[in-house]
Amino acid sequence: MQSRYFTLTDYPNGLPERELFTLKTQELPELNPGEVRIRNRWLSVDPYMRGRMSGQHTYVAPFRLGQPMEGGAIGEVIASNDERLKEGDIVSHMGGWRDIAQISSAGVYPLPDAKVPEQAYLGVLGMPGMTAWTGLNLIAECRPGDNVLVSAASGAVGSLVVQLAKAKGCHVVGIAGAAHKLAWLESLGVEPVTYKDRGAQELSDAIQLASPEGIDVYYENVGGICLEAALSQLNEGARIAVCGMIDTYNAEKPTPGPSNLSQMVVRKARMQGFIVADHWEHYPEFLKEVAPQVAAGDIDYKETVKEGLEQTPDAFLELFQGGNTGKMLVKLTD
């Protein structure tokens, strides 16, 4: 059996060029003990993957040039050398960026029975959802009645953050760009603020109008002017959970820090970065809380879907151009 997969031909500087992604074909060997073969149905592309294209080891190893790339995926087991998994099982795993994955069964997990679409386990009930829940609850320690600000609030992570915060009785402000994204946030009961055509001071003024009593929790996905604007609106004892800084991922040279970092001292604030994998022991707790809400329709989530394996690099690159509302997914077709 053959597998088609994407590989990188070189490590990019700045926004990756589409030509760096090459689709290749390989003949799969016989299964070794403890291996499983999966026909992928859904692939995930996520901003963190840009860091794996740097050639540097950060909190995760870089992609290897010429080798199959990796990422979250949902698929059907079509052959197994592990008694824990059988043909026909629908599973989640990290053998993405390909149509057929042959990998160790150690990182393959049957989907829970939560009466939700299977691709939800790549988005609202997967790594992005767990990231939202972890940052808001474990890192920022959000409390009922807090004033909460979220950047990239219409994305896969941010859109769940705002809804979890609203469910706690918080006043929530969401930063986004496109008009349809702002409208969606407003429909969720969020005060929408655009960053388009605004500098840090203008954005800060807009945040103040949306949250006159300041900000107790800032959920950071972007960096850049969003961080600078947020710092000026912090309340005393504010907590900032830093999930990512997508504004810097494709920078070709070091980006300047915020000019008002001293507000961290003045406001006696706390800012903490985190990696969701370090908190994965809480995933069952997250599922217990959020999965029933998703199944009942109490959580509104959106997906941007590209069809066909060939679309995977384009889907990834659109993440950095505002091309997604909610979770960006690739649906594989027969």
Q: Distance between CA 210 and CA 171 in Å, rounded?
A: 9
Quick one: 63 exposed, middle or buried, by C-beta within 10 A (0-12, 13-18, 19+)?
A: buried
- CB-based contacts of 83, cutoff 8 Å, min separation 6: none
DSSP, collapsed to helix, strand or coil, labels residue 255 as coil
Full pLDDT tens readout for the chain, 334 residues = 999 999 999 999 999 999 999 999 999 999 999 999 999 999 999 999 999 999 988 888 999 999 999 999 999 999 999 999 999 999 999 999 999 999 999 999 999 988 899 999 999 999 999 999 999 999 999 999 999 999 999 999 999 999 999 999 999 999 999 999 999 999 999 999 999 999 999 999 999 999 999 999 999 999 999 999 999 999 999 999 999 999 988 888 888 889 999 999 999 999 999 999 999 999 999 999 999 999 999 999 999 999 999 999 999 999 999 999 999 999 997 6
Q: Distance between CA 227 and CA 240 in Å, rounded?
A: 10
- CB-based contacts of 126, cutoff 8 Å, min separation 6: 44, 72, 92, 120
Token output for 298: 């109490």
The label of the residue with tokens 């979890």 reads: 164
Greatest CA separation for the chain: 64
pTM for the complete prediction? 0.93
